[in-house]
Amino acid sequence: MNEPIMPMTKRDLLSMIGTAAGASAMYMAMSSMDQAKASDFKGPPKLEGDNKGASVLILGAGVAGMTAALELSRAGYKVQVLEYNDRVGGRSWTLQGGDTYTELGGATQTCRFAPGNYINPGPWRIPWHHHGLIHYCHELGVALEPFMQVNYNAYVHNTKAFGGKPQRYRHIQADFYGHVGELLARSVNAGALAQTVSKEDGEILLEALRSWGALDRNMRYVKGAASSGRRGYDKEPGGGLSAVPEPSDPIDVQTLLRSGLWRSIGGNLQWDHLSTIFQPVGGMGQVAKGFERAVGHMVRKNSKVTAIHQDEKGVIVTYKDTKSGAVMKAAADYCL
């Protein structure tokens, strides 16, 4: 018998992309599916309903839940937040050296980082267009600093290329731009673009390619001052008994193309991930701490919501105290 074909939801598709290719790829896919849009935040919401004094239960003390708690309480609602974890912040979370974490499956891990080092297991970047979060960071005293989106001296790696030896990002980028620049310049000079680019514009394009690709005076990307000025020298100029620099060898175009490492460069060129990007000083957990200072007293931690019942009188939420095991109920006019 044939299995029924289940339709795939957008969420299924994004989960598959996230699992196979990681969070960045998923975010890019979300952007292209119009699922991750730039914020049109112009300021906190003006909540001017006539429900002052009404009660609201908010489920989850992530950034969304705590933002809602902050604004609804300011608007005069009685707010309670139920949070499963024994901390607030949800995925906005930072693990410092010495912290331990027990996963749902029971495995406990201890972070053995040097003092001051940390890891954000979830989000780490606050792009420039996240106006809402940037606003709340300012308001809640969460210090931000620039996030280094591209490290040109980092290594990129493909186990099947260069004998598995990692390559400098700047080598791959400089050599890729250089070779592409040279190939395009050759096409211009061979008249291959004559239909598209006028003679005058072709001259401008050649000049631009020389600069963009670090080409030499003959429009070639070869070992020399131009290419080494971009990718780095074997022996840097200046100082010592012999100040003569030794240029480095660019990777040849065939090896570079076949390595696939060109895939590693330019991944941050989508408009929504362009500089300037921020991060909280001390990690994303500082965002949670900022909100906690403002709304922490409204949050009941260790409270796992198991059921929501709504009728004409309001909402009843059933939750379990994860420390004591006690099953409790909370009632409110509204639930978020």
Contact residues: ligand FAD, CB under 6 A: 23, 59-65, 82-85, 90-92, 122-125, 130, 303-305
Would you say 58 or 251 has its CB closer to ligand FAD? Answer: 58
Is-contact 298 73, C-beta < 8 A? yes
Q: Which two tokens stand for residue 113?
A: 């980082």
The H-or-E segment that residue 289 falls in is: helix 285-295
Residue 205 CB, nearest approach to ligand FAD (Å):
37
Would you say 84 or 113 has its CB closer to ligand FAD? Answer: 84
Would you say 91 or 329 has its CB closer to ligand FAD? Answer: 91
Residue 90 CB, nearest approach to ligand FAD (Å):
2
Residue 291 CB, nearest approach to ligand FAD (Å):
10
Would you say 59 or 315 has its CB closer to ligand FAD? Answer: 59
Residue 300 CB, nearest approach to ligand FAD (Å):
9
Among 191, 210, 207, 208, smallest CA distance to 199 is for: 191
Residue 38 CB, nearest approach to ligand FAD (Å):
12
Is-contact 133 286, C-beta < 8 A? no
Among 164, 158, 180, smallest CA distance to 250 is for: 180
Residue 157 CB, nearest approach to ligand FAD (Å):
20
Residue 272 CB, nearest approach to ligand FAD (Å):
10
Place of tokens 């100082």: 239
Tell me whether strands 327-332 and 95-96 are parallel, antiparallel or unpaired.
Answer: unpaired
Is-contact 265 47, C-beta < 8 A? no
Amino acid identity at 127: P
Whether residue 276 has a cis bond before it, omega within 30° of 0:
yes
Is-contact 284 122, C-beta < 8 A? yes
Is-contact 299 58, C-beta < 8 A? no
Q: Which two tokens stand for residue 70?
A: 């902050």
Is-contact 78 56, C-beta < 8 A? yes
